Structure 1
């Protein structure tokens, strides 16, 4: 009984067991644990002191009371300040995958395309023949518009992607298409294409319709394009298409002679080039009446990666009425007159397609292009000298290519 009294209420009032195993105070964590005390839990909750974090404590800790009072807060209140928002995923600003199409509609389109595709092509051939017989001189429909029957044609890879809806199948279908589009756009830049920017760099772009990446999403297309050095552009990108761009810097330096330099020697890139024999020119002039329309018909259906393909090869295999006399006589005075006539024609042309926004002083930078056929017998340097008399200089946004054409610019009043 003495032992029981020693550990009971009488013992709890004695001096020897006042704060021992008799009646412990509520603050003692060893005799009567508080449920919120982390030391009484089997697994300690996340806490800066119990499990140090690799980053600095968030701001909410600074507003908390001192630690002796905060250590008994509920575990949820301790873990809340540690949660950090996840960083935005790359391409999160672009739309995700589009809604899947019905499998029945996809199968019907795949089966019926073998019937309506040949009829479509036959109708286009008949329409083209009618336009030729009617001597139609207006601008025809774009070859990248309703003339492209492949817009509604389902290849086997796309059929599988439409039926499964898996992103990996869509990526397998889109990857070769995206690579071809990018290669064509970069070839167009190498040939002088692209929009000139304020820093004289040029930007090329590629557009993809949603039918090509429906199950992958625009954000997935952007991730694929980034492997090739391209980025997605929010301008022009919506739920039905995605626009990819790449900016190329301006040429570091223009390796070209000055208009004040001595004339370039014949046979050099900037000097006069050999002209065709005078007896051959009449036959070239007559034969081009036949093969130029054939060439135009072929290029109407087949898109070349070089946007200046005709400018490059037309100067070699054709001769215009204005250049006929200059090349037939091969007279320096005739070539100079021909160059001035072409410069006057291009200067008077108010198409506005090459004019950037108005610059300081109410001027804008006008850009023109002079083809090789204009200065073949005189040389690119002589054409540059004549153009400099009218205020034209080499365009610093393009690498000089005297063997094919000259790109000139000058400031004009808007």
Structure 2
């Protein structure tokens, strides 16, 4: 709408009415505050017409991604590579047939190699390899679903194969987060990460894996994704409320989550101390071959049937003074370790400690929290309090 004060005789009183646009749009000449477009350059080269859609990004080659600037972790089109080139059917079938022969021989060779390494270490010879990738026999093994996906090359077959693997990896990572895993961020939230190798999603592409991960609330990380892997991550916010007593509150009642827990029968502790010499190696061997959902399986189950030499006297006597000495000894040890790491020129500063249940079993989590407060430690707001199993402490 004009005000009758146009320039150059246009738009003033008596001027013809402005043109009507079908969708209610106004021309930029009607706004008296808009600058006129610059005159066209007669020597300018013609500009080719822009494409309505960006071209499809080819699969990146085997090059280092450290030189490229990091891009934002988002699922934008073109941010992740597509399907990789298919393998020949003859090579896939040959691998599937020969794996039943070389896999047992591979395992036998690993056993013999372990014997040689142990003998070499005893003699004082060399050392083992720096990487354990050659130990993973399953990396070269083709299961039936992957064989079908490799032969057909259809994305739906690859998705049918990758989806259960991705779901298991994500479930294990989220269980690890619930057990206290994850990188603490500046907002006190924690980030957990998952990676998949190219052999698991060759015909689907990293973009397809990111699409499947978004259904579980995860996102892709472009900066960490290369030609051979796809990186996924999920950010969990910090707990909203810490339902925990303050150090100066009255002591918690025995049997409650924050109070003293029942200790084991004192006459049995010497036998437990001796039997754990056999129990601990057998337990460690079994857990290496059993898929367990809890990452802190040892803290929750294995440590319940063992007793350390430092905690033996505190649990055997079950006196408050012995438990206080034991808790203070553990806190002093962790504080000294943190101070040493802080003085290291290139070492990161660690300001978090983790007290396990065996440290304060007979004294209670609240008593451990009170003793830790004497040295400036408080509950870590990045973790949900779990006094029945462990305490996460931080010092500002």
Interval containing the TM-score (normalised by the shorter chain): 0.7 to 0.9
The answer to whether 1:370 aligns with 2:358 is no
Distance 2:388 2:289 in 1: 28
Distance change >3 Å, CA 112–CA 285, structure 1 → 2: same
The aligned runs of 1:9-408 (5 Å cut-off) are: 85-86=52-53, 90-128=76-114, 145-350=133-338, 366-408=351-393
Distance change >3 Å, CA 273–CA 218, structure 1 → 2: same
Q: CA deviation at 1:364?
A: 5.1
Q: CA deviation at 1:348?
A: 1.9
The answer to whether the 8 A contact 1:367-1:409 is kept is yes
Higher relative contact order (CA 8 A, sep 6+): 2
State the aligned residue count: 340
Q: CA deviation at 1:133?
A: 7.2
SS of residue in 2 equivalent to 1:269: coil
Distance 2:184 2:22 in 1: 50
Distance 2:86 2:361 in 1: 57
SS of residue in 2 equivalent to 1:328: helix
**1:119-154 deviation line (CA, Å, top 9, x unaligned):** 222233444556667787999879973322111000
The answer to whether the 8 A contact 2:252-2:258 is kept is yes
* 1:25 aligned residue: none
Distance 1:140 1:339 in 2: 38
* TM-score of the two chains, using structure 2 as the length reference: 0.77
Distance 1:199 1:298 in 2: 39
Compare CA radii of gyration and give the structure with the larger one.
Answer: 1
Distance change >3 Å, CA 106–CA 400, structure 1 → 2: same
Distance 1:382 1:144 in 2: 43
SS of residue in 1 equivalent to 2:224: strand
Distance change >3 Å, CA 54–CA 177, structure 1 → 2: farther
Q: CA deviation at 1:313?
A: 1.8
Distance change >3 Å, CA 351–CA 162, structure 1 → 2: farther
Extract unaligned runs of 5+ from structure 1: 1-51, 64-79
Distance change >3 Å, CA 379–CA 135, structure 1 → 2: farther
Distance 1:198 1:384 in 2: 24
Distance change >3 Å, CA 271–CA 135, structure 1 → 2: farther
Q: CA deviation at 1:402?
A: 0.5
